[in-house]
Amino acid sequence: MGLLMGIIMPILGIFLVLDARPELVGLQRFEGEVVKHVNTQIITLGIIINAALFFVFLQFNKEDISRGILFASVVYLVGIFVYRFLL
């Protein structure tokens, strides 16, 4: 349950950021490094939702769900690192 929630919520967060700031979509036509930097920031903002959910579920003593959210966040962060620095 937590893993699924941890995977879906950042995607929802990314859509919310892009809906609130449509000019970020237009930046995709620029130089590759600028695009990588902006995309990394957008994905990171999506992961902030996971951090909030993690702490909310810890407050309600739902450690298993929190563990799944944390695992999904780590997977996203590794993906961001690979995308930003290794590709």
- Domain ranges for the chain, please list them: 2-86
Is the model's pLDDT at 18 over the cut of 90?
A: no
The residue with tokens 């909030």 is: 52
Q: For residue 38, give the 3-state DSSP assignment.
A: helix
H or E stretch covering 23:
helix 23-26
pTM for this model (two decimals): 0.83
35 versus 69: which is more confidently predicted? Answer: 69
Is the model's pLDDT at 30 over the cut of 80?
A: no
The residue with tokens 């892009």 is: 18
Mean pLDDT over residues 7-14, rounded?
A: 92
Q: How would residue 23 be classed by pLDDT, with cut points 50, 70 and 90?
A: confident
Half-sphere exposure (Cβ direction) of 53: Cα atoms closer than 13 Å = 26
